[in-house]
Amino acid sequence: MDIAGRSGWIDVSVPLHTGMVHWPGDPPVQIERTSDMARGDRATISKISMGAHTGTHMDAPVHFLRGERGIDAMPLDATNGPARVIRIRDAALIKPEELELHGMQPGERILFKTSNSERCWKTDRFVEDFVSISKDAAELLAERRIRTVGVDYLSVGGLQNGVEIHQSLLRAGIWIIEGLNLSSAAPGNYELVCLPLRVEGGDGAPARAMLRPL
């Protein structure tokens, strides 16, 4: 039995480990024991060093909008409540044409399950051609007043247009979860719990995220 046990909760966050994948140029992940009972210390204590945008994490508006809110200002209901996992079939981009098939409603929390979930987390190397949100799709999400968007790799936008995509979503007040692994979550309706660490004024923060079918 996995750690979800019989509760029905599915863990959709990725495990953190030293040397794991991160956005190119971001600080590496290093988790080291500064005290260790195996070496005769009285307790085992780790030091965790990592960028705030590694693994499963959230982005705050201040990540790309100067003077905007930090992650500690996120309303808790942005990421806790009903959510929908939408299966994206396009192997390159999340496009408006595909989104239109799903009848997105204002205020929805939507998690995009792309081929990234199965493909990208198997390696500690950065996968450059991950599926990301297109410019037009970001505009559609903003127009539809989606509350929260989750993606299954390290950025909502691609390597070339990441800044622009983040800005469109954040300007529209959409909260962003990145780095989910949705391979164990079938498309459908869920209760979402996702809690980023309460970092004061933080541009982002690691998060634990889980889903329970509704």
108 vs 178 by CB, closer to Zn ion: 178
Which tokens is 50 given?
Answer: 């990592």
59 vs 108 by CB, closer to Zn ion: 59
Amino acid at 136: D
Shortest distance (Å) from residue 131 CB to Zn ion: 15
Question: For Zn ion, which stretch binds (CB under 5 A), given 1-9, 59-67, 69-77, 87-95?
Answer: 59-67
In sequence order, the 6+-apart residues with CB closer than 8 A to the CB of 75 are none
Burial class of residue 68, CB neighbours in 10 A (0-12, 13-18, 19+) = middle
Catalytic site residue from 22, 53, 57, 63: 63
> Where in 163-192 is the site for Zn ion (CB under 5 A)?
178
| Angle CA 104–11–61, to nearest 5 | 55
Shortest distance (Å) from residue 154 CB to Zn ion: 7
In sequence order, the 6+-apart residues with CB closer than 8 A to the CB of 91 are 115, 131
Element (H, E) at 52: none
**Contact call for residue 152 and Zn ion (CB under 5 A):** no
59 vs 152 by CB, closer to Zn ion: 59
CA distances in angstroms from 40 to 37, 65, 112, 163, listed in the order given = 5, 48, 47, 48
Dihedrals phi, psi of 198, to nearest 5 degrees: -85, 70
Among 12, 50, 55, 59, binds Zn ion (CB under 5 A): 59
Shortest distance (Å) from residue 132 CB to Zn ion: 10
115 vs 167 by CB, closer to Zn ion: 167
Active-site residue, 17 included: no
Number of residues forming the site for Zn ion (CB under 5 A): 2
Residues within the interface to Zn ion (CB under 5 A): 59, 178
Could you give the residue numbers annotated as active site? 63
